[in-house]
């Protein structure tokens, strides 16, 4: 057990934070009068509020513990998850997809599938998304309990239930409204609480250039400090994946599948007060997304240098002979933060996990209530009854998440768990959404069977690699064995299979009349013009700036 001697001031920060988020839920309950207030925060938020919540909902355990740990394991290649694995998809969502989502006044992403295709496609996706969300929710609970158990010394079960209970209280009281308010607070707390780790690390090691130099001295045959220059040969980078896997699997399928179809983040944009604000939500968030590696990736590189220096005394936790890469960030907090400041670091970690947990639970209760319960079980439910059901679903979701948290604990790393889940659900869903929005003749039966084929093929390929039913090289088209490469390529094949089946079945089945698809398909929908809007207020203007920064970062760290 690795416990920290917390001062009374540290405890005051931690306890005050838990009390504050519960207080937010209690205060905002009086503003939650209808089911739309509970599930969509009344559609009253500005682009800045929605944008910060959009990103904060994504700053969960994977983004903080998982990515810092995986930088230690794979090197700077992990930055691909923040840059090519996020920014292009976020901009595409804001410019091209949000007009279809927001203008149709849907309450969830499966709701769009109902309008574009039919009820069975909506229910299939609703069930798959609910299942995925609860699995991901368990990751954040596991991570919160890991911090409380390992670094404070609390009993594991107590840590789990305290974390679950806090999220359950404030989300149940006022739904998405309280989730968004606390996510904004958590966003700033994460930055202020964790940025100092990278600052102190640079001071100790002599700056970024010195950190890169020392990492390069440690790894002479494999590059741990570049993004693209070593991607032509899988044996020359820590992740053992080529540029084709990064571009097709991560940059296209996994990235677009998550950022454009995952209701966890898209729900925040739905809460915006108007279409322009909704379109600006992911675009504004993209700027902050590009900055996160300067905390997480740099922290992982600092840990590499320290762990290979016998004089530093720094080592990662070892669980039963297996290195716990997820302990990278917490252990650096312990190393650098003085007494009285450790509480801030721990609270920042907990804030990130709670933001991710609240985001998953609020997305789950919406999809369950509208796309499964109202759609299949009780079609005539009143608004008051749906509000009640949303609160019941929140409690149920939290309880199920506790169970999935124990399952997540059994995986060697958070990243392995997350990538498997995303390739099962998000990869084929992106194919369905893309075809549905841009090809009018895609049929309801084509969408349904394509989605089934995509999800089943992804799950089959996961099992086939895990249990050695056939060589991994058949999926990755490379002789180099890499779990991450298998993740990327499995997502690509699931997307491609979904596309082929969807198109094939659509050519053989009845199409919906074009008149029924107005507002749902590009080319059949009148597009809002920005001609009379000043350039500095156009979403496309900021998207171009974001894209330019994105390209510059990739060139600098080529």
pLDDT class of 474 with cuts at 50, 70, 90: confident
Q: What is the gyration radius of the CA atoms in the chain, in angstroms?
A: 23
pLDDT class of 290 with cuts at 50, 70, 90: very high
pLDDT class of 286 with cuts at 50, 70, 90: very high
Q: Which of 279-283, 403-407, 502-506 has the highest mean pLDDT?
A: 502-506
The pLDDT score that the predictor gives to residue 306 is: 92
Distances (CA, A) of 5 to 143, 147, 152, 328: 20, 14, 8, 19
Q: What is the pTM (predicted TM-score) of this model?
A: 0.82
CA angle 392, 398, 288 (to 5 degrees): 115
Please state, rounded to an integer, the average pLDDT across all residues of the chain: 81
Q: 95 vs 61, which has greater pLDDT? A: 95
- CA–CA distance, 394 with 2 (Å, rounded to integer): 33
End-to-end CA distance of the chain: 41
- CA–CA distance, 38 with 387 (Å, rounded to integer): 7
Task: Match 């006022």 to its residue by tokens.
Answer: 174
The pLDDT score that the predictor gives to residue 170 is: 65
Residue 291 has pLDDT above 80, yes or no: yes
Residue 408 has pLDDT above 80, yes or no: no
Residue 482 has pLDDT above 90, yes or no: no
Mean pLDDT of 430-454: 93
Q: What are phi and psi of 50, to 5 degrees?
A: -65, -35
Residue pair 546/286 in contact (Cβ under 8 Å)? The answer is yes
Mean pLDDT of 59-65: 70
The pLDDT score that the predictor gives to residue 139 is: 76
- CA–CA distance, 422 with 424 (Å, rounded to integer): 5
Tokens of 460: 């089959």
Contacts 24+ apart (CB under 8 A), 41-46: 41/175, 41/176, 41/177, 41/180, 41/271, 42/177, 42/271, 43/270, 43/271, 43/272, 43/273, 44/271, 44/273, 45/180, 45/271, 45/272, 45/273, 45/277, 46/272, 46/273, 46/277
Residue 346 has pLDDT above 50, yes or no: yes
- CA–CA distance, 399 with 405 (Å, rounded to integer): 10
- CA–CA distance, 396 with 384 (Å, rounded to integer): 19
pLDDT class of 1 with cuts at 50, 70, 90: very low
pLDDT class of 546 with cuts at 50, 70, 90: very high
Q: In 242-292, where does DSSP find H-type helix?
A: 243-244, 255-261, 263-270, 275-291
Task: Match 């716990």 to its residue by tokens.
Answer: 324
- CA–CA distance, 344 with 502 (Å, rounded to integer): 50
Which residues sit opposite 319 in a β-bridge?
A: 322
Q: How many residues does the chain have?
A: 558
Mean pLDDT of 428-445: 91
Distances (CA, A) of 187 to 44, 183, 293: 20, 6, 15
Distance of CA 489 to the CA centre of its chain: 19
CA neighbor of 259 nearest in space, from 100, 378, 427, 90: 90
Residues 6+ apart with CB under 8 A from 477: 489
Residue 544 has pLDDT above 90, yes or no: yes
CA neighbor of 453 nearest in space, from 493, 483, 420: 493
Q: In 83-207, where does DSSP find H-type helix?
A: 87-92, 98-103, 109-116, 119-147, 156-205
CA neighbor of 132 nearest in space, from 424, 411, 463: 424
The pLDDT score that the predictor gives to residue 204 is: 92
Contacts 24+ apart (CB under 8 A), 80-84: 80/227, 80/246, 80/250, 80/251, 81/250, 82/289, 82/290, 82/292, 82/293, 82/296, 82/297, 83/227, 83/290, 83/293, 83/550, 83/553, 83/554, 84/246, 84/247, 84/250, 84/251, 84/255, 84/554
Domains, the chain, ordered by start: 43-556 (1.20.1730.10)
Q: What are phi and psi of 74, to 5 degrees?
A: -115, -15
HSE-CB of 284 using CA atoms within 13 angstroms: 21
Residue pair 1/150 in contact (Cβ under 8 Å)? The answer is yes
Sign of CA dihedral 403, 409, 412, 417: positive
DSSP classification of residue 373: I
Residue pair 314/331 in contact (Cβ under 8 Å)? The answer is yes
CA neighbor of 550 nearest in space, from 89, 147, 98: 89
Residues 6+ apart with CB under 8 A from 157: none
Mean pLDDT of 489-509: 94
């Amino acid at each position: 057990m690795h416990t920290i001697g917390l001062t009374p001031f540290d405890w005051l920060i931690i306890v005050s934070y838990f009390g504050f988020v519960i207080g937010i839920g209690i205060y905002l309950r009086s503003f939650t009068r209808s089911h739309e207030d509970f599930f969509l925060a009344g559609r009253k938020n500005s682009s800045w509020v929605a944008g910060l919540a959009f990103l904060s909902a994504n700053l969960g355990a994977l983004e903080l513990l998982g990515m810092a740990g995986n930088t230690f394991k794979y090197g700077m290649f992990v930055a691909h998850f923040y840059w090519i694995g996020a920014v292009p998809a976020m901009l595409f969502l804001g410019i091209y997809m949000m007009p279809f989502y927001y203008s149709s006044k849907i309450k969830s992403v499966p709701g769009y599938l109902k309008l574009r295709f039919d009820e069975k496609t909506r229910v299939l996706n609703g069930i798959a998304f609910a299942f995925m969300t609860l699995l991901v929710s368990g990751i954040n609970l596991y991570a919160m309990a890991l911090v409380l158990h390992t670094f404070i010394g609390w009993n594991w079960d107590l840590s789990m239930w305290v974390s679950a209970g806090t999220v359950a209280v404030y989300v149940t009281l006022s739904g998405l409204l309280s989730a968004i308010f606390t996510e904004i607070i958590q966003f700033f707390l994460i930055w202020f609480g964790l940025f100092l780790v990278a600052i102190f690390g640079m001071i100790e090691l002599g700056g970024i250039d010195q950190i890169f130099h020392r990492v390069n001295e440690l790894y002479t045959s494999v590059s741990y400090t570049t993004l693209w220059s070593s991607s032509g040969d899988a044996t020359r980078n820590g992740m053992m994946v080529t540029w084709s896997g990064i571009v097709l699997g991560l940059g296209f399928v996994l990235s677009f599948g998550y950022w454009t179809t995952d209701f966890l983040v898209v729900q925040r944009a739905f809460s915006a007060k108007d279409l322009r604000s909704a379109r600006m939500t992911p675009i504004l968030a993209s700027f902050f997304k590009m900055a996160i590696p300067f905390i997480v990736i740099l922290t992982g590189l600092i840990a590499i240098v320290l762990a290979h220096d016998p004089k530093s005394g720094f080592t990662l936790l070892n669980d039963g002979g297996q290195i716990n890469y997820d302990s990278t960030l917490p252990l650096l907090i312990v190393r650098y933060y003085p007494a009285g400041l450790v509480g801030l670091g721990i609270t920042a970690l907990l804030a990130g996990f709670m933001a991710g947990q609240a985001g998953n639970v609020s997305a789950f209760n919406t999809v369950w209530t509208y796309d499964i319960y109202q759609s299949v079980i009780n079609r005539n439910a009143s608004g008051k009854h749906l509000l009640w059901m949303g609160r019941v679903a929140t409690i149920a979701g939290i309880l199920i998440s506790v169970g999935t948290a124990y399952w997540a604990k059994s995986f060697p790393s958070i990243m392995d768990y997350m990538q498997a889940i995303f390739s099962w659900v998000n990869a084929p869903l992106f194919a369905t959404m893309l075809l549905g929005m841009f090809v009018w003749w895609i049929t309801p039966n084509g969408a349904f069977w394509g989605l089934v084929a995509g999800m089943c093929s992804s799950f089959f390929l996961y099992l086939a690699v895990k249990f050695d039913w056939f060589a991994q090289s058949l999926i990755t088209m490379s002789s180099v064995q890499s779990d991450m490469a298998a993740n990327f390529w499995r997502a690509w094949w699931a997307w491609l299979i979904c596309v082929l089946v969807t198109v094939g079945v659509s050519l053989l089945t009845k199409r919906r009349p074009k008149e029924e698809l107005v507002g749902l398909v590009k080319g059949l929908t009148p597009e809002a013009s920005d001609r009379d809007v000043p350039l500095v207020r156009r979403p496309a203007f900021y998207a171009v700036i974001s894209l330019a920064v994105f390209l510059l970062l990739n060139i600098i760290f080529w």
